[in-house]
Chain A
């Protein structure tokens, strides 16, 4: 058995009548990039808060890096970026970062050294301007996100937990975040992040877990999950006004089980016994100009929609994430 960065067994949490998380079990191997996927209100944030011992589960156990998470020393080895970000607005950037580092048990001197390092790396300190001397609320949103990000990683944690890390990031910071996740993995760190953006998850994660309504829907390696759900899938792209022409063909439920219509791009799940070649013939007969027709594995997005369904996306409780 490989060593686990995170081992959750049967945790539940309810607020009054509302079950935020129901009997959830997860295992994240060390060194993995793990995606916690689910619609808003699925229980992702509640799960993450339980991992961090911010709230206690009603039931079940959580082991982090081989130790129970109630052991306060283990918290020092976790880095956490919450979904809703914020820092002390009136405080100087360097002082905020030093404070966050010291809370994780880092000495002031070591913290200062690393702060300088990081600020140069993320260009918060340039020969022209040292933003470290500014107050947080003098920084742009993008820069504040950088500072928060530094605060998460300053103590070089072994397990990094990112709650919806891509929400609100501009493309440049999003790229920097992806690079950092890849870098963390190379250095043998474990990364868990929650998201409802399947594209990011598909590209970054080794393994995923999809939860909805507080229940685990499925989990496993990305490759495994895809293979398991690998049915009769076709990726179709059309040019010109082909979109209108193909829609009638795709609405034939004898052949097509489900279509994800992105206007010019279609991800199609065929019925089990349907023949893709026949679909292609009918599309050409309809007069559409086809630029792509490919037999593919389903995307995580597709699997997610199939498993969670449209209803799961709509029903969301705020406040308990």
Chain B
């Protein structure tokens, strides 16, 4: 036991002292913030760009609907741009914002529509205009319209056009019913923002969106930590094998103790880093608002840190620990198998793929956290360490499923450690060719 402690201490201290650790501990959150916030920021930015892009409206309705739609587009675009940037719903005026370029409207005789369309298509193809909208008798009768353009797949753009047409159609009907124009404008411009709340057995929970983001961050963190520190173990094993320190150390302690010490020591480094990160995040959330207010910044009412129950916290830790042990022992076996830095990346691929499988499915699982895919992947031991915590933040996981997942993971862990330790024991002293599966099986049997 004393020797295990000596090994753990070395693994821990050597890493915590390294520049690499200090760097990632400080800049990890910055990097993490960048990769989570940047995509959102980019979306908003491109949406704003789309607002101001003008389109051509081919109006074959002979009712003047085209001009109404163009007006709406211009009005809505301004307020949408403001909304997108401030992240709030509402219809503030767009003073100071770059005004939208008004869309061009072309009144077309219904028989000439086909010809006008082919001209418009050509214009779009020659990049003269961004896209064109066709309004015809079907728009009035069946509420259908067609849009063709370079940005037809952009959800924001299409939604805006759709909304403008809807408002214009409603406006036209109200006008026909004798409503005055000013009233119509204020009536049709009602925007609904839907906020969803998560309910659990304790009653009202956090807002659905916050827990969604929280779940995603947790899953991604778990994935990153397991990947980073698992590979860290692998590199450590490879270093000991290649520099031949392994033999000196194994003359003093059993390889199992060396392996255990390495996994525990590196795991402790990971936990230290997480404590620093979460600790500073909690401090920032608790005191950051106070500090910001003291400095004169507006209060952030929309932001609420999700509450984490002790049970959830405990399960998160347990899944992290088990997942880390599972993957790091596999990575350690890989490190002991190969003989060079060049080989190790390739040899580690099967293990990496197992882990990547869980992060690939994060999005579909977030969208349907109680679906078959979600349940299956939260029970399969190799994906459970990432997927189960993700589900737990999104829905109430039945206790039986949770227990089954944990027991399955623990058993798999045990079997993996057993096999990995045997591969490790033989592999550390081997030189030369990487073993194939058959030889690997022999190592495990005869170690």
Write 21 A-B pairs (CB below 8 A) sorted by A numbering: A49-B247, A52-B251, A54-B251, A72-B254, A82-B247, A84-B244, A84-B247, A85-B244, A87-B245, A87-B248, A88-B240, A89-B243, A95-B14, A99-B6, A103-B249, A104-B252, A105-B2, A151-B248, A318-B431, A318-B432, A319-B432
Given A88-B14, A89-B243, A319–B251 Cβ distance below 8 Å?
A: no
Nearest chain B CB to A110 CB, angstrom units: 14
Interface membership of B3, Cβ < 8 A: yes
Given A319-B430, A319-B432, A75–B251 Cβ distance below 8 Å?
A: yes
Interface membership of B34, Cβ < 8 A: no
Indicate with 1 or 0, residue by residue over B212-248, a CB within 8 angstroms of chain A CB atoms.
Answer: 0000000000000000000000000001101111011
- Other CB < 8 Å A-B pairs besides A86-B248, A103-B7, 4 of them? A78-B251, A90-B18, A95-B10, A99-B10
Interface SS of B by simple majority: helix
Closest to B6 in A: A102
CA distance A54 to B244 in the complex (A): 13
Given A75-B252, A78-B251, A102-B6, A86–B245 Cβ distance below 8 Å?
A: yes
Residues of A within 8 A of B3 (CB): 102-103, 105
Residues of B within 8 A of A49 (CB): 247, 429
B interface residues, tally (CB under 8 Å): 25
Residues of B within 8 A of A100 (CB): 248, 252
Interface membership of A91, Cβ < 8 A: yes
Residues of B within 8 A of A75 (CB): 251-252
Interface membership of A215, Cβ < 8 A: no
CA distance A77 to B353 in the complex (A): 45
CA distance A148 to B10 in the complex (A): 17
Which parts of A59-105 form the interface with B (CB within 8 Å)? 72, 75-76, 78, 80, 82, 84-91, 95, 99-100, 102-105
CA distance A151 to B247 in the complex (A): 13
Closest to B13 in A: A95
Nearest chain B CB to A92 CB, angstrom units: 9
Closest to B14 in A: A91
Nearest chain B CB to A102 CB, angstrom units: 4
A interface residues, tally (CB under 8 Å): 29
Residues of B within 8 A of A103 (CB): 3, 6-7, 249, 252-253
Nearest chain A CB to B387 CB, angstrom units: 36
Interface SS of A by simple majority: loop
Closest to B18 in A: A90
Indicate with 1 or 0, residue by residue over B306-350, a CB within 8 angstroms of chain A CB atoms.
Answer: 000000000000000000000000000000000000000000000
Most chain B CB neighbours (cut-off 10 Å) among A52, A72, A88: A88
Interface membership of A55, Cβ < 8 A: yes
A88→B252 contact, CB < 8 A: no
Residues of B within 8 A of A90 (CB): 14, 18
Interface membership of B84, Cβ < 8 A: no
CA distance A151 to B239 in the complex (A): 19
CA distance A105 to B240 in the complex (A): 21
CA distance A148 to B249 in the complex (A): 12
- A-B pairs under 8 A by CB, number: 65
Closest 9 CB pairs of A and B: A86-B244, A86-B243, A103-B252, A80-B251, A102-B6, A82-B247, A84-B244, A52-B251, A54-B250
B243→A54 contact, CB < 8 A: no
CA distance A109 to B239 in the complex (A): 28
Which parts of B239-290 form the interface with A (CB within 8 Å)? 239-240, 242-245, 247-254
CA distance A90 to B239 in the complex (A): 10
Given A84-B244, A99-B6, A76–B431 Cβ distance below 8 Å?
A: no
Nearest chain A CB to B253 CB, angstrom units: 6
A88→B254 contact, CB < 8 A: no
CA distance A55 to B242 in the complex (A): 19
CA distance A148 to B239 in the complex (A): 17
A319→B6 contact, CB < 8 A: no
Q: Which of B6, B245, B430, B432 contacts A88 (CB 8 A)?
A: B245
Q: Which of B7, B243, B429, B432 contacts A55 (CB 8 A)?
A: B429
Nearest chain A CB to B80 CB, angstrom units: 55
Residues of A within 8 A of B253 (CB): 103
Residues of A within 8 A of B250 (CB): 52, 54
A80→B248 contact, CB < 8 A: yes
Closest to B426 in A: A55
CA distance A91 to B3 in the complex (A): 19
Nearest chain B CB to A258 CB, angstrom units: 36
Indicate with 1 or 0, residue by residue over B4-20, a CB within 8 angstroms of chain A CB atoms.
Answer: 00110010001000100
CA distance A91 to B430 in the complex (A): 24
Residues of A within 8 A of B2 (CB): 105
Which parts of A32-68 form the interface with B (CB within 8 Å)? 49, 52, 54-55
Which parts of B357-410 form the interface with A (CB within 8 Å)? none
Residues of A within 8 A of B240 (CB): 88
Most chain B CB neighbours (cut-off 10 Å) among A90, A99, A318: A99
Residues of B within 8 A of A319 (CB): 430-432
Q: Which of A82, A89, A91, A95 contacts B248 (CB 8 A)?
A: A82
Q: Which of A80, A85, A88 contacts B239 (CB 8 A)?
A: A88
Most chain A CB neighbours (cut-off 10 Å) among B245, B249, B253, B432: B245
CA distance A100 to B253 in the complex (A): 11
Closest to A108 in B: B6
Closest to A72 in B: B254
Most chain B CB neighbours (cut-off 10 Å) among A52, A76, A82: A82
Residues of A within 8 A of B254 (CB): 72
CA distance A103 to B258 in the complex (A): 11
Residues of A within 8 A of B239 (CB): 88-89
Residues of A within 8 A of B251 (CB): 52, 54, 75, 78, 80, 82
Closest to A82 in B: B247
